[in-house]
Homo-oligomer: A and B are copies of this chain.
Amino acid sequence: MTLNLGVIGTGAIGRDHIRRCSTTLSGARVAAVSDIDPVQARAAIAPFESEALLFETGEALIASPSVDAVLVTSWGPTHAAFVHAAIAAGKPVFCEKPLATTAADCLSIVKAEAATGKRLVQVGFMRPYDSGYRALRQVLRDNTLGTVLMIHAAHRNPTVGANYTTDMAITDTLIHELDVLRWLIEDDYVSAQVIFPRRSRHARADLRDPQIVLLETAKGIRIDVEIFVNCRYGYDIQCEIVGEEGIARLPEPSAVTLRHQARLGTPILTDWKDRFIAAYDVELQDFIDGVRDGALKGPSAWDGYAAAVAADACVLAQRTGAVEPIVLDRAAAGV
């Protein structure tokens, strides 16, 4: 049976997922859309599904019997309400990050989902679907490295927009590392510290860039993540895992090696959208397959909550300069 998806929010990411479900993925179709701008919603679906239904509100879409599962790709502050509605309707929901804008709201979703006794929520963290990270995780599972002791990571953008602020280095940028590293090592963060190196002259005067975030996990693993969003040279994601027996490094994106003009090397991507483009396909196919199989396996509401709590501590650490604790409320969540 083809899965009937309803998409709430037809901005860039929403349209991208509509295209993906319609032309690339298997087993689903977009049966319904909704947007605060119905003209945009209609334009988004028209090239792909002439018979899709248009709903005035996300709530109406969720309630429709024509919708089996929901994709929430609307404005961030609206996510939590739509996810709650989907949970209430007993329908699986894929929610782009953030799951909610506060850790408390994330926790509320965790609780609501737990109360249903079923797994219904997948959060749109795509890094665990990247083939490089998956290969890295396989190395860890094969125990080639022995026990993990340290991770050295970096998240570098060539440049950022004028409205990018110091805390967005955590909430928009580091958030991906907070999710994927936790998934890699199957461990939880217990503290965070932020160090501000000399500022790049390419950063705006009110932006601290680069930053270094130091994390500690429950098992004592130490993680350093360089965040550098005006690095100029390219979009570059690095991850090196140091274990008792050896070290593994995230693959560089596959590229042609050139010998040209006195240089031996490969191109570096400059547009972040190219870096994980294949991962989005795998991610959404996994959601579709998970719904059809009745067993979602991707990033959960709890994962979304854990990332949110860690991000909050990092933002606090930016301000205090101190080592800030990271505490998950397992009791409240009933997990």
Instruction: List A residues at the B interface (Cβ < 8 Å).
Output: 22-27, 131-132, 135-136, 139, 144-150, 152, 158, 195-202, 210, 212, 214, 219-222, 224, 226, 228, 231-234, 236, 242, 244-270, 285, 289
What residues of B have a CB within 8 angstroms of the CB of A23 in the complex? 26-27, 289
**A267 with B263: in contact, given A201-B147, A242-B226, A246-B233 (CB under 8 Å)?**
yes
Q: Which 4 A-B pairs have the closest CB atoms?
A: A265-B265, A246-B260, A198-B220, A197-B222
A249 and B245 form a contact (CB under 8 A): no
A181-B195 Cα distance, complex, nearest whole Å? 19
Docked CA distance A246–B263 (Å): 10
Contact partner, A236, options B245, B259, B266, Cβ 8 Å: B259
Residue of B nearest to A25 (CB): B26
Smallest Cβ distance from A214 to chain B, in angstroms? Answer: 7
Query: Which of B26, B139, B267 is A262 in contact with, Cβ under 8 Å?
Result: B267
Contact assessment for B195 and A214 in the assembled complex, using a CB-CB cutoff below 8 Å: yes
Partner of A212, one of B25, B27, B197, B224: B224
Residues of B within 8 A of A148 (CB): 198
Q: Which residue of B lies closest to A22 (CB)?
A: B26
CA distance A259 to B253 in the complex (A): 14
Distance, CA A86 to CA B256, complexed state (A): 39
Contact A150–B197 (Cβ < 8 Å) = yes
Known pairs A210-B242, A222-B197; A259 contacts B263 (CB<8 A): no
**Which residue from chain B places its CB closest to the CB of A140 in the assembled complex?**
B256
A200 to B210, CA, bound (A): 30
Candidates B26, B232, B247; contact of A233 at CB < 8 Å: B247
In the bound complex, do residue A258 and residue B247 qualify as a contact, i.e. CB atoms below 8 Å apart?
Answer: yes
Q: How far is the CB of A291 from chain B (nearest CB, A)?
A: 14
Question: Roughly how many angstroms separate A285 CA and B25 CA in the complex, as a whole number?
Answer: 10
Cα distance A283–B196 in the bound complex, in angstroms: 36
B254 in contact with A262 (CB, 8 Å): no
Which of B22, B147, B221, B254 contacts A132 (CB under 8 A)? Answer: B254
CB of A251 within 8 A of CB of B255, answer yes
